Chain A
């Protein structure tokens, strides 16, 4: 692997419509291996939709998504997982009646990780799930369910990991802890895209952010720079004033 940051994901001119509503309207950005990229923007700006399209939940209505130069737009989710794309969900969606261990076993068995994934034991240990390993997922608290959701994604050894509001609802200690974990994941060469409302968290972990509004990007660069750009301020403050 080269030491320079090679671009893994390319999104160009992505369009997604729901009826007449353009949830994504020509979104373009890229993400490199080993990089943590933040996706920020007001509610309804298209952050989650873009994750849903990239992870194959929705087929795009226009534009292009490439992974390592290969077009992946419209490919079914499970195939994307096999290609090395995975994600977590804003509201975690574990398999409620299965135990934690079984939840992980499914992803380990079907993820077709190209590099040998860590064992279930290691993953549970790392994400503090060992003591609930044999309990059904329905008995887990919200933070534990989020970790299980993350572990499910990690068990497939993704090259590109999309985190949809993973930090929401975690307490400050947990936040510090999970930041460190995410950074460690990036260190292994994983490209990570983080959708988050907590700006502190974004600032703490991201190398770069994309600011979105109305389905497209309006800024790309460091968060510290972004908050000084008038257009970005207007989107955030204007949006809130209007509301």
Chain B
């Protein structure tokens, strides 16, 4: 409760007020999207140790779930966002056998799965359903204000999940599974079910985020919403801040994505070089994330 009040509420209020004072709403929107995705990575990686290297698969599937619902069923955008979340969960369920793998194997298989979904959606054979490689245009539902509000709701939900994990024995049990699945099962924890639940929760928020993104961007190709940049950014942000905490990924997104955009706005000619070097330096000198600066001093970080 304290966490909701002290961390989540201020975050939401800030992002709800910012559009009034700062006009680049899409940048704010992207911040919100990456907050959701980084926290989604936090749910699955921070609490269970599975690195979702193909996390964008859920995001893209959600975006196309949104698009298909709007194009073929003429549903309202909020309805389509819910469908997007459902599509994310369905894909998560379909891919849940991957959880049998561990470490780098899981990461690689997940990346492969995301690419497989991309090439499936983009295949011309599915043109009647997904518009294949030809891209979708959803100008009928375009509404940046509502889409931004929806993104904030998705963020609230995501933060709610993370706060629950951080403060519940459920979250504790997930971390126990991450540390040692055998020992966790001997504490009475149903290891498989716990992992699947975390996996699906993580898929749900990514699917919802994808739906909201589709709503805002409204004109896109498969390559736009399945770009591996989404996975990598979300993972890098989450790790940079520090996973298995509530604040870590938030700090990660705000600091690193902030720096990223700052470089992009000011020194575009060395954008990639500076950003690449920055990531390397961070991993080498702050391997446990920014929050480790505090935990090293013995402070508890929520």
Contact = CB atoms under 8 A, between A and B. Distances in A.
Report A-B touching, CB under 8 Å.
yes
A64 interface: no
Interface size class of B (residues with CB under 8 A): 10 to 19
Nearest to B189: A110
A77 interface: yes
B175 A110 contact: no
A78 B190 contact: yes
B138 to A, nearest CB: 44
B172 interface: yes
Contacts of A112: 188
Contacts of B186: 55, 77-78, 81, 86-87, 152-153
A58 to B, nearest CB: 11
B184 to A, nearest CB: 7
B180 A105 contact: no
Interface in A216-234: none
Given A78-B191, A98-B179, A106 B173 contact: yes
Interface in B175-220: 175-176, 179-180, 182-191
Contacts of A96: 179-180
Interface residues of A, number: 32
A86 B190 CA distance: 14
B23 interface: no
A110 B187 contact: yes
A153 B182 CA distance: 13
A61 interface: no
Contact of A111 (B179, B183, B187, B244): B187
B266 interface: no
A242 interface: no
Contact of A110 (B173, B179, B182, B244): B173
Interface of B: 169, 172-173, 175-176, 179-180, 182-191, 244
Interface of A: 55-57, 76-78, 81-82, 86-87, 89, 93-98, 102-103, 105-112, 149, 152-153, 155-156
